Structure 1
Amino acid sequence: MKFKAALLAAALAGVAITATPSSAEEVFNAPVATRQADESGLQTAIFAGGCFWGIEAIFSHTRGVQSAVSGYHGGTQQQASYSLVSSGVTGHAEAVKVVYDPSVVRYDQLLQILFSVGADPTLLNRQGPDHGTQYRSAIVPMNAEQRAVAQAYLAQMGRSGVWDRPIVVAIENPRAFYEAEEYHQDFSLRNPTNPYIRRWDAPKVEALREEFPQLYRSTFRTG
């Protein structure tokens, strides 16, 4: 599933979009909207973009990601269960907590990946066949630097002219993240022939390989 990755990457990089780059790789060395050169050590990010199976699979195949864990963000601990979250009334979103090495993959690159191959940022409370507030797209900045990057990213994406509809991605304040049930973890790795995985999530991983070859990892990072 591809969402105009090259133009989207150009929008984030802050470069003038006068022509379509031949590949996303061409803009990776361009200056990013907000400098992140001072990052050191492992960092944590939380993203929501529809069903967490596919988002976890994408980041598990991304170089520099140390772990990608499916879970729930936005509601209470008492309501952090799949049966309740699926009702759409808990305030939780299906989300993925990503621990990454910023010396290998930057936060803005994770955002590029998320909205290039993972989730359509113009869809409100739905992705693919899934509908409800639990499937909303959201960025959860864990610090001021991530928030600045996320704000610049969304603003530039909105100005880019790449999308025919408004960007509806929310920036949410961090709350407790609750890991999903064990059977949800590494779901695409454990269930490669599952019809949902084959139809909706395997194409996202393939798009990651094609659009971001320098950040794609063939092995699946578990945990």
Structure 2
Amino acid sequence: MNRIAALLLAGSLALSACAGPAIAAEEPVNAPAATRTAKETKGLRTAIFAGGCFWGVEGVFSHVKGVKSAVAGFHGGNAASAKYDIIITGVTNHAEAVKITYDPAVVRYDELLRIFFSVVADPTLKNRQGPDVGAHYRSALVPMNKEQAAVARAYLAQLGKAGLWSKPIVTRIEPYKAFYPAEGYHQDFMAKNPRHGYIMRWDAPKVAALKAFYPDHYRAAFLRDAR
């Protein structure tokens, strides 16, 4: 790539990337361990999490031991409009999301939920996270099997009674429809662009909170997608 093309790409990323007004970032919360733990058999499992801009969701889970893959993409909607420049207009039913593959022998689904609500997403924000506003930035859990669905329901109910937030929890459980991987430049974005302004302000603190809250689950190396 020549210098002019590189500058144009950088400019397009700055304009089209997850961005919004400068506001105070949400503080991480030490969410409780789940009382309903996941009963998962041997073998890899997949799960989908939507929690605002997928750069941070992918970034956090890419630092979790037991996560084998984390792919940024879009859940819901249809294939024709599963393109970033269309989705950010807010006219589709997609959510920015991350599909992870994990080993439940190392990290269970309920532990992933705890990490998600502790350092990734504020469950009281409707159709927004951090500086990003719109239904495509909604927080949602997308269980991929009956056990995940049961654990997700139980954990949301548990959080609702925990009194950690002053506002009601609005995170939804959505049935799986379809998942579309995002464009290549969104994959491993935090690892590729550690000095990006958005990453430094909004997402690097989430990874730092993961390390502080859950040192046993934290992996220092960023797991890059092998697709």
* TM-score range for the pair, normalised by the shorter chain length: 0.7 to 0.9
State how 1:2-81 maps to structure 2 within 5 Å: 2-5=27-30, 8-10=31-33, 12-13=34-35, 33-36=36-39, 38-81=40-83
Work out the CA distance in 2 between the residues paired with 1:114 and 1:60. 12
Q: Return the offset for 1:214.
A: 0.2
Q: Return the offset for 1:35.
A: 4.4
Q: Return the offset for 1:167.
A: 0.3
State how 1:167-178 maps to structure 2 within 5 Å: 167-178=169-180
Alignment CA distance shift 1:202-1:158 (3 Å): same
Work out the CA distance in 1 between the residues paired with 2:28 and 2:48. 21
Measured against aligned partners, the alpha-carbon deviations of 1:133-181 in whole angstroms (never above 9, x if no partner) come to 0000000000000000000000010011111100000000001100000
Letter in 2 for 1:9: P
Q: Return the offset for 1:9.
A: 1.7
Q: Is the 8 A contact 1:2 1:207 kept in 2?
A: no
Extract unaligned runs of 5+ from structure 1. 14-32
Alignment correspondent of 2:205: 203
Work out the CA distance in 2 between the residues paired with 1:205 and 1:4. 13
Alignment correspondent of 2:96: 94
CA RMSD of superposed structures (Å): 1.0
**Identity value in percent:** 59
Measured against aligned partners, the alpha-carbon deviations of 1:200-220 in whole angstroms (never above 9, x if no partner) come to 000000000000000000001
Letter in 2 for 1:3: P
Alignment correspondent of 1:220: 222
Extract unaligned runs of 5+ from structure 2. 1-25
Pick aligned residue for 2:136 from 109, 122, 134: 134
Measured against aligned partners, the alpha-carbon deviations of 1:92-147 in whole angstroms (never above 9, x if no partner) come to 00000000000000000100111100010100000111000000000000000000
TM-score of the two chains, using structure 2 as the length reference: 0.86
Does the alignment pair 1:115 with 2:138?
Answer: no
Work out the CA distance in 1 between the residues paired with 2:176 and 2:118. 23
Q: Is the 8 A contact 1:140 1:172 kept in 2?
A: yes
